[in-house]
Chain A
Amino acid sequence: MIEAEQAPPPGVVSEPPPRSLQAGRGRRWVWLGVAPFFIYTAAFLLYPAISILVGAFQDDDGNVTMRLVRELFEPGALNAYWTSVKLSVITALLGGLFGLLLAYAAILGGLPRWIRTALTTFSGVAANFAGVPLAFTFISTIGFTGIVTKFLNDQLGFDLYGTGFKLYSFAGLVIVYLYFQIPLMILVIAPALDGLRREWREAALNLGASPSLYWRHVALPVLLPSLLGAGILLFGSAFGAYATAYALTSGQLPLVPLLIGNVTTGNVLSDPHYGDALALGMVMVLAVAMTGYAILQRKASRWQR
């Protein structure tokens, strides 16, 4: 059974290469085999990354300057970073919570087996549904002329937009982002929930613990690295999201990806290198997050033995 799965735990034992292939000539061929991949990666991933890094410290004439990086700390940019972080954290927490509840219900809740399969299959699709189509889906639902908006008004007398709610707002984005955050959480946490051995729960009960004490002392501590790791993944997913936000707000909300988009398409008058600086800032934030994730993954795999 093949699955697109998470990175294997560190410490996977690698087999020694067969003796027949250790001959010098054989080795050279082998390096040739993987060279195209590395060349490609270097050219189209590393080189662009470096251009951003370099560009962030350059001005129009090519001189080295810190001006652009300093501009990141102007209120405009800072606000964008702050809003992006806020949005990412909130959707990570909410997505994490609801995702965990749904995954728990399907996997450990004693429900029929097909529910779990249905949930993971749907999550696989929903996690990919993000972007422009998702935005229009929600516009059709709770937009100003949305079906549900009308339903609430006509059938229940509840004026959604009268409460000041707007889909093209921070709150609206949160609601829409959850549509791909929750499935992502489900996909990530399902294996960890599977890893909770039945014997642990039974042993805990046998020793006198109630189910909630079992969760407090055993299940949650064991799950914690995976939960935190999943949370970071959700954070990264929201932080780097562009299409959904753009389609919903036409680039009007102060979010870093939208800002970068505006600068790049020339909608906003500014130094083109400003986009580089913004992008660099994003990479820094995400790099920190990913390092945290890698560390947590290492810890989580310890319990799997």
Chain B
Amino acid sequence: MAAMRRRSRFFTLGWLWLALGTGYFVVPLLATLVFSLKTGRDTYGVTAYKEEFLDPAFRESLFFSLKLAVFTILIVMVLLIPTAYWVHLKLPRLRPIIEFLTILPFVIPPIVLVVGLLHGFRWTPTWFRGGYLILVVGYGVLAFPYVYRSLDAGLRAIDIHTLTEAAQSLGARWTTVLFRVILPNLRSAVLSAAFLTLALVMGEFTMGQLMQFPTFAVHIAYIGQVKATGAAALSLISFAITWIAMLGLLLLGLRVGGRAAQVGGTH
């Protein structure tokens, strides 16, 4: 009897903590939703959403960030897919180095990286600094750890050696092997990495603000100084974007988890 009593006592305790947790996490979101629907002291409506959607700066910043995201994803994939592949297949000795490099974002957070980029590339031509290329390369660095780990996990799940050797014995060159054999099997890892990068770039504020670029997050911050309800609406939209990105991951049957899931740059 005592054993059963003990178990049921903890049952309730577990539910209690989860209830409290749910409250802490859900209430702010609900409150924000209500807040964003305020149009006056006691009136409600979707005015805030309408205003923001019609604001040209909203569309511009959103597409700007999306554009940056796409470029970042491209650069990162082009760099990391071959790297992850080669390291996995032929240069296992480089693993520790690469893994060290993937821990670096915690030691060099975006706020530090942006100082270094601004400082170190002071002497570069304006098209690099003024155009958003410098921002994209910064994002690339931020995205590395998550993308690499995703690719690495994907590579480990398929037997790279056997696939490569089988393809080579049938006469394929390494480009064929990479594009026709490896990549198709890595599809979910690549997509997962792409989604994570998307979420990262869409939410990134620090580097955008300090380099004075009109990213989506910078736009939200600006609106926040002017219209609280508008900022609330935009925040929910931003949250929805993150959710969609994560749902995309889920639909691919991937588990959203692991330390790497927290994406830097957003906070």
The count of chain B contact residues (Cβ–Cβ below 8 Å) is 117
Instruction: Give the residue of B18, B25, B101 whose beta carbon is less than 8 angstroms from that of A41.
Output: B101
Residues of B within 8 Å of A136, CB to CB, are: 32, 220, 224, 228, 231-232, 234-235
The count of chain A contact residues (Cβ–Cβ below 8 Å) is 109
Structural contact, B115 and A3, CB atoms closer than 8 A:
no
Please report the C-alpha to C-alpha distance between residue A184 and residue B264 in the assembled complex, in whole angstroms: 12
Please report the C-alpha to C-alpha distance between residue A21 and residue B90 in the assembled complex, in whole angstroms: 8
Please report the C-alpha to C-alpha distance between residue A188 and residue B257 in the assembled complex, in whole angstroms: 8
Structural contact, A4 and B150, CB atoms closer than 8 A:
yes
- Decide if B108 is an interface residue (CB 8 Å cutoff): yes
Binds B, one of A43-51, A70-78, A155-163, A214-222: A43-51
Question: In angstroms, how far is the closest chain B Cβ from the Cβ of A104?
Answer: 8
Closest to A260 in B: B111
Please report the C-alpha to C-alpha distance between residue A130 and residue B220 in the assembled complex, in whole angstroms: 13
Main secondary structure of the interface of A (DSSP, over half): helix
- Decide if B199 is an interface residue (CB 8 Å cutoff): yes
Closest to A180 in B: B267
Please report the C-alpha to C-alpha distance between residue A233 and residue B80 in the assembled complex, in whole angstroms: 25
Closest to B80 in A: A37
Please report the C-alpha to C-alpha distance between residue A18 and residue B217 in the assembled complex, in whole angstroms: 48
Please report the C-alpha to C-alpha distance between residue A213 and residue B5 in the assembled complex, in whole angstroms: 18
Residues of B within 8 Å of A50, CB to CB, are: 120
Residues of B within 8 Å of A130, CB to CB, are: 203, 266-267
Residues of A within 8 Å of B119, CB to CB, are: 48, 51-52, 55, 272, 275-276
Structural contact, A141 and B31, CB atoms closer than 8 A:
yes
Please report the C-alpha to C-alpha distance between residue A294 and residue B104 in the assembled complex, in whole angstroms: 12
- Decide if A279 is an interface residue (CB 8 Å cutoff): yes
Structural contact, B18 and A139, CB atoms closer than 8 A:
no
Closest to B217 in A: A132
Structural contact, B79 and A5, CB atoms closer than 8 A:
no
Quick one: given A37-B80, A127-B262, A140-B35, are A240 and B106 in contact (CB under 8 Å)? yes
Instruction: Give the residue of B15, B141, B149, B267 whose beta carbon is less than 8 angstroms from that of A243.
Output: B267
Quick one: given A45-B101, A260-B115, are A137 and B235 in contact (CB under 8 Å)? yes
Q: Could you pull out 27 A-B pairs where Cβ atoms are within 8 angstroms?
A: A2-B254, A2-B255, A4-B149, A4-B260, A7-B102, A18-B164, A37-B79, A43-B137, A48-B121, A106-B18, A109-B11, A121-B246, A121-B256, A128-B200, A128-B203, A131-B267, A137-B31, A140-B28, A140-B232, A141-B32, A141-B35, A146-B31, A179-B25, A180-B262, A187-B261, A241-B267, A283-B108
| Across the A-B interface, the 5 shortest Cβ-Cβ residue pairs | A48-B116, A240-B109, A14-B92, A130-B267, A124-B256
List the interface of chain B (C-beta within 8 A of A): 6-7, 10-11, 13-15, 17-18, 21, 24-25, 27-29, 31-32, 34-36, 78-80, 82-83, 85-87, 89-95, 99, 101-104, 106-121, 137-138, 140-141, 144, 146, 149-150, 153-154, 157, 161, 164-165, 168, 174, 188-189, 192, 196, 199-200, 203-206, 209-210, 212, 217, 220-221, 224-225, 228, 231-232, 234-236, 238-239, 242-243, 246, 249-250, 253-264, 266-267
